[in-house]
Amino acid sequence: MDPSFPWCDLSEIASDNVGGEHLQDNAGDPVFDSLRKRGHRITAQRETILQIFREQPHGLHLSAEELHGKLIERGSNVSLATAYRTLKLLSSLGLLRELDFAEGHKHYELKQETLPHQHIICIGCNATLEFEDHFLEEAGQKIGARHGFEVIDAQFKIFGLCPQCRKNRKETNVATAEGRPGKLKSR
């Protein structure tokens, strides 16, 4: 666990109790305190799901299906429907950030563990890069204020082709121009 994160270490969660009540004392953890303050129980499923998000490498965003796969790997019998409901709940409470990368499904990341950042997404291979731009953050706040909004979240996404896909596209165009079939390679 990254020591820069101010949350308790949940690594001792036992995989054989993923469906029951919470497994350890998590008092003082801001995420769980937020759930409690809003009247939500701290279940083993919620603890495990939040732990999975905390364990993800920087910049990795999980879909409901990917999260469900990680739950199954841990021996959980949590259904995909429960994973979706939990993601929706945690997003509505502002604990997760819901992201739409135009792939037909949502991705999620822990909101508290990330600095304000935006995303650039390759339409060829779906690679996603995070970047920080304080100008965009300030612009979002100013635009919201101008229209009387309190900005809760602002997402700016850039879609394009990464260097590898651009290279593949050039190779494809050359191959097609030479009369050979070509297509964009996927990674």
The per-residue DSSP string of the chain comes to --TTS-SPP-TT--GGGTTSB--S--TT-HHHHHHHHTT---BHHHHHHHHHHHHSPTT--B-HHHHHHHHHHTT----HHHHHHHHHHHHHTTSEEEEE-SSSSEEEEESTTS-S-EEEEETTT--EEEE--HHHHHHHHHHHHHTT---S----EEEE--HHHHHHHHHHHHHHHTT--------
Give 112-155 pLDDT, tens digit per residue: 655 677 788 888 887 788 777 888 888 889 999 999 999 877 77
Domain ranges of the chain: 1-112, 115-187
Q: Which pTM was predicted?
A: 0.55
What's the CATH class of domain 115-187?
Answer: alpha beta
What's the CATH class of domain 1-112?
Answer: mainly alpha
Give 73-125 pLDDT, tens digit per residue: 999 888 999 999 999 988 888 788 888 776 777 888 887 655 677 788 888 88
